[in-house]
Amino acid sequence: MWEDSEPADDSQEELFQDRLIGHEWAAGLLQRSIDSRKLSHAYVFSGPNGIGKSFLAHHFVMALSCQNPPPKIEGQLGFRFCGECRACRMIREDKYPDVSVISLEWQARMESGPGSSSANANLKIDTIRAMQLEVSRAPLEAPRRVFIVEDAATMQIAAANAFLKTLEEPPARALIILICDSDRSLLPTIVSRCQVFDLRSVPTETIEKALETRGADQPTAHKLAALSVGRPGYALRAFYDKTHQDVDDRDEAIQEMETLLKADQAVRLAFSEELNTRWAGQGERRASVVTMLNLWLGWWRDLLLVYNGQGRYATNQDKLDTLQAQVDRLHLGQIKEMLQWLTRAQSELDSNLSPRLALGDLFVNHLPRL
């Protein structure tokens, strides 16, 4: 009943109208440097996905550019901006002329067109040079031109060295914010020229309360806060996008996968038959097969991440113990093979093939036995 009920843009809008959850210390320090006119030329905002780095950056820029900031109240932490002036509104909508967001997505948009390359896993040197041209221009309205560099860790050495040049001779009225998971993924020579704000997990109770303030009922707030593992951005998105009901589907799918991994051939065949019946049922029952396959694919991707010691990037953050326990009993080859088979099964289901063909072989011949 949730599907298509709201366009995605609304939730994005809601996200940015929101108040910052947690990270008051960072907001307080940044606001103080605005007030005392002691801003750095460059900042690094680091921390896991969904922790609130971009959010902090946007609020920082609003506080910096607001045309009508509320008066300072002694003892009050956090950013001061009105949220309603032209600058605040346009920054929120990513339309302010003095704020540029550089990202892989932006790069892809710039490159799209005939003859464009599809390789967009890294911020390229041409992108950095395009940014540098802009950095040298004076701001149009705001006290400073701001460049928010998302995906900063994807810069390879040539791009990073080009970027370093800007930091070595920063134009007086430019401010650069680098966004990344960890400052260790940037060149040390870059980090040493920036003020680093490493955003830590926000307490679960803080997130739970924040969700309730936004209209979540207590059980939903509690569940999403726990699942977010300290990442308010994750919790808010799940709440506004109404994707939290997927959580129940996910728990069920993981349970089924765990059972199947331990089950013998007869049980696996029976399950494969059961999927055929669901698929034949059309409508919602058919959709449930696709959902389950997607969730499994996500699970096996997480297993690969945990295998490679990158568990902090896993989607199922609340299930790291289960993931680790499974990884301890799997070989890398088995994980990779399962990912291939699941991807193949997914594309076969996409072309409406029966899961008997797509999944039968997977269960009988490829799913490892734990």
Interface residues with Zn ion (CB under 5 A) are: 66, 81-82, 85, 88
Q: Pick between residue 94 and residue 205 the one whose CB is nearest to Zn ion.
A: 94
CB of 87 to Zn ion, least distance (A): 5
CB of 65 to Zn ion, least distance (A): 8
Q: Pick between residue 66 and residue 254 the one whose CB is nearest to Zn ion.
A: 66
CB of 336 to Zn ion, least distance (A): 51
CB of 68 to Zn ion, least distance (A): 5
Q: Pick between residue 83 and residue 170 the one whose CB is nearest to Zn ion.
A: 83
* Amino acid making up residue 112: S
CB of 84 to Zn ion, least distance (A): 6
Q: Pick between residue 81 and residue 96 the one whose CB is nearest to Zn ion.
A: 81
| Radius of gyration (C-alpha) of the chain in whole angstroms | 24
The residues, any chain, with a CB within 8 Å of residue 102's CB and separated by 6 or more, are 123, 127, 131, 147, 148, 149, 150
Residue 351, both tokens: 């072309």
What is the rounded CA–CA span in Å between residue 242 and residue 211?
13
- Dihedral in degrees, nearest 10, Cα atoms 329, 333, 339, 340: -150
Q: How many residues does the chain have?
A: 370
Q: Pick between residue 65 and residue 326 the one whose CB is nearest to Zn ion.
A: 65
Residue 171, both tokens: 């134009």
CB of 192 to Zn ion, least distance (A): 33
Q: Pick between residue 86 and residue 137 the one whose CB is nearest to Zn ion.
A: 86
CB of 141 to Zn ion, least distance (A): 12
What is the rounded CA–CA span in Å between residue 21 and residue 364?
48
Q: Pick between residue 85 and residue 108 the one whose CB is nearest to Zn ion.
A: 85
CB of 34 to Zn ion, least distance (A): 13
Q: Pick between residue 85 and residue 196 the one whose CB is nearest to Zn ion.
A: 85
Q: Pick between residue 82 and residue 187 the one whose CB is nearest to Zn ion.
A: 82
CB of 170 to Zn ion, least distance (A): 26
